[in-house]
Structure 1
Amino acid sequence: MEKARLLLADDHPLFMNGLVSLLEETGLYQIVGTAHNGDEAIQLAQELMPDLILMDINMPGTNGLEAARIIKERMPYVKIVMLTAATDDDDLLFEAVKAGAQGYLVKTMDPDKFLAEVASHLRGEANISGDVAIKIIRAFSNQDPVRQESALTGREIEVLKLVGEGASNRDIAAKLFISENTVKNHLRNILQKLHFENRVQAAAYAIRRGLVDRH
């Protein structure tokens, strides 16, 4: 099995060394590069073409959020997850998502949970809190939902509803009796048709359109 290629960006050497060790011990990841500021992250991302970038939000020079915006403009395919010491800053997650990130991970979280979240983000699966969903819904409130939703097939709407409920690709596949690969293909089509960059934005859209029962 080919290892996922990761680029790490953080200006704290002690945390960086620990993160490299934690990820390499799993045997699942290849650390293709490390950056100590946003400018290095931008340069290395283009040179190394990683699958996923774990990037600290607060770095000297170009910060992580700005670096994420630039990288996503130049490399839309790459997944970016922000790293932060904050534990409950929904505004921060919202800004990260607007920058094109999949979400963020808290540096102080349990190592096993951290690794599980990294794997989840690599699969393109990320959950968001209700407060963050509301912020994202408001940000995309000017889009034309009728025009966009009419482009979706019946099956794609079913998948979108389950994404809004926080279901993983495996859960969606089991509920709809299709393969995970088929789920991924449906998600690619949904994101393209709705002009969203990631699963989080699609989930928020599903909530706003009333496809998800929040009670």
Structure 2
Amino acid sequence: MIRLLVADDDELTRTGLRTLLSTEPDLTVVAEAADGNEVLPLVTEHRPDIVLMDVRMPELDGIEATRLLRAELADPPKVLVITTFETDDHVYDALRAGAAGFLLKRARLAQIAHAVRLVAAGESLLFPDAVRALVAARPAVPTRDRHPALTARETEILRLMATGLSNRDIAADLVISLETVKTHVGNVFAKLGAANRTQAVIIAYETGVVTPGAAR
């Protein structure tokens, strides 16, 4: 059973998500937060696997709540941002803070359930086109002042990750073993200080390893 916490200041949204998700046999909502400052205490109490996190909340927003979870907990739950607009700057900042991906509030139940299961299984919900759009909408000057010390192979794999390829797809593309890809991906995460694929790709754009309009 995948345990969920829903954090949104809109009661109707929380109720709707809880009602929809309760129809899925492997998903359960164990807690609800009306503001970001309620998230950490509820996570500590209920130990959800996933937090569905609104980015815009009045006292403590989803970005700071995500940062707080990662700073205070040794094993924080994975965060899926829920948002009205996919090009919202808040979404970009939440992904930089370590959220595994984002969902639009207008998404269908099947899409939400699939995203939750994907992230619970250890994958990141990476939408390459949306991430590129978020990056392209921001200032062109990189926010990080140096490239990470990646090897040529690690850089190649990071660029493939930015296109949305899974480890298995990357292995097939490069004609190398899946275990080798996993090793390289782990090294990329460690060198970038990234929590997941989405954050690694964001950092890659910020350092110029990957550019929004570049072809492979």
TM-score interval for Structure 1 and Structure 2 normalised by the shorter chain: 0.7 to 0.9
Q: For residues 137 and 4 of structure 1, what CA distance do their matches in structure 2 show?
A: 39
- Pair 1:148 & 2:146 matched: no
| Equivalent position of 1:114 in the other structure | 112
Shift of 1:112: 2.2
| Equivalent position of 1:33 in the other structure | 31
Q: For residues 15 and 211 of structure 1, what CA distance do their matches in structure 2 show?
A: 36
Instruction: List per-residue Cα deviations over 1:7-37 (Å, max 9, x = no partner).
Output: 2112333322221232232222232322222
Paired residues of 1:38 and 1:64 also in contact (CA < 8 A): yes
Q: Which runs of 5+ in 2 are unaligned?
A: none
| Equivalent position of 1:126 in the other structure | 126
Instruction: List per-residue Cα deviations over 1:170-206 (Å, max 9, x = no partner).
Output: 4234434544x76555433321122223312322444
TM-score where L is the length of structure 2: 0.77
Q: For residues 184 and 28 of structure 2, what CA distance do their matches in structure 1 show?
A: 28
Change in Cα spacing, 1:140 to 1:121, as seen in structure 2 (3 Å) is farther
Equivalent residues in 2 for 1:34-183, closer than 5 Å = 34-75=32-73, 77-85=76-84, 87-122=85-120, 123-128=123-128, 129=130, 130-134=132-136, 135=138, 138-142=141-145, 144-145=146-147, 148-149=149-150, 152=151, 154=153, 156-175=154-173, 176=175, 178-179=177-178, 183=181
Identical pairs, percent: 31
Change in Cα spacing, 1:93 to 1:11, as seen in structure 2 (3 Å) is closer
**Alignment root-mean-square deviation, CA:** 3.0
Q: For residues 202 and 160 of structure 1, what CA distance do their matches in structure 2 show?
A: 8
The more displaced of 182-191 and 5-14 is 182-191
Q: For residues 120 and 138 of structure 1, what CA distance do their matches in structure 2 show?
A: 33
The more displaced of 128-137 and 45-54 is 128-137
The more displaced of 129-138 and 64-73 is 129-138
Paired residues of 2:81 and 2:99 also in contact (CA < 8 A): yes
Shift of 1:159: 3.1
> Which residue type is aligned with residue 79 of structure 2?
I
Change in Cα spacing, 1:127 to 1:88, as seen in structure 2 (3 Å) is closer
Q: For residues 9 and 194 of structure 2, what CA distance do their matches in structure 1 show?
A: 31
Paired residues of 2:78 and 2:99 also in contact (CA < 8 A): yes
Shift of 1:69: 1.8
Instruction: List per-residue Cα deviations over 1:117-176 (Å, max 9, x = no partner).
Output: 33333322412432323449855431x32x521xx483x444323202211344234434
Q: For residues 78 and 182 of structure 1, what CA distance do their matches in structure 2 show?
A: 27
Please state whether the residue corresponding to 1:196 is helix, strand or coil: coil
Q: Which runs of 5+ in 1 are unaligned?
A: none
